[in-house]
Structure 1
C-alpha cells in the first residue's frame, strides 16, 4: 500500500470511530422499566405508592421513609443518598425485621439536589430527587 493511501485509510477509519463513539454517547439511554419513580412507575404502576421514598428535612438531618410493609418474603433492602454531582453521601441496609426508615446528615451548609433511592427485593429500584 502506498503511503498516501495508508494515511487516507487511517484517517477515514479514525473519523468513523470518532463519529460512531460520539453518536453513541449522544443517544438517549432509556431507563424505562429499569429505574422507577412516581412519574414513571413502569410495569410496577399498581405498587408505586408503597415504593417511592419520602424525604423529610430538619436542619442538616434528612429522614427517608418508604411506606412499605416489611415481611421476610417482601421488604425494602436499602436507602441510598447521593448529593449533587453524583457524590455518594450514605447508605442504610435493612433486614426484613427493620422498618424502612433511615436518617442521614447533610454536610454543613449543603444546598443543592439530593437523590434518594429505595430498593425493594421484589419491585426493583425506586428514585426520588429534591432540592435542598
Structure 2
C-alpha cells in the first residue's frame, strides 16, 4: 500500500467514526434495536406475553430542581432461577446515571428509588431479567 492509499483509508476511517454513531443513535438503529437488543411495551420481540411482568413501572415525584424516580418491576424473585438482576437509569442521551442491583435471596420485589438533582427531560429505565432480557420504559422528569 502506498502512502496516498494509506491516507485515503485513514480519512475514510475518521469520517465513518464521526458519521456512523450519529446514524446509529439518531433513530435508524435505535428503532431496530427495540424488540431485539432490548424490549418495550410497543416492541416486546419474542417476549410479547411478558410485558406486564418485565416492563419497569416508573413514578416521578418532582423535588425542586430534581426529582425522585421510583421504579417497580412486577416480577417475582425466584431465587437465582428467575429474577430481576437490576434497574438502570440512563439520561435523555442514553448516558449512564445510576443503577440498583438486586439479590433475589434478600429482595422481596425489584423496587428501587433514585434521587436526581438538577435534571429535567426524559429518563430511560432499564429492567434486566436473567431469563427474559432487558426491558426499557421512559418517563419525563
Report the TM-score, using the length of structure 1 for normalisation. 0.78
Distance change (3 Å), C-alpha of 1:13 and 1:71 = closer
Q: Which whole-Å deviations, capped at 9, do the CAs of 1:80-128 have from their partners, x for residues lacking one? A: 11223344332111111311111111114x2111011100010011111
**1:121 counterpart residue number:** 130
Q: What are the equivalent positions in structure 2 for 1:1-132 lying under 5 Å apart?
A: 9=5, 12-14=8-10, 17=13, 24-25=20-21, 26=23, 28-29=28-29, 30-31=32-33, 32-59=35-62, 60-72=67-79, 73-97=81-105, 98=107, 99-108=109-118, 110-132=119-141
Match of 1:85, SS state, is: coil
Report the TM-score, using the length of structure 2 for normalisation. 0.74
Query: Gapped runs of 5+ residues in structure 2?
Result: none
Aligned length: 126
Superposition RMSD in Å: 2.5
Q: Which whole-Å deviations, capped at 9, do the CAs of 1:54-79 have from their partners, x for residues lacking one? A: 00122321210001111121111111
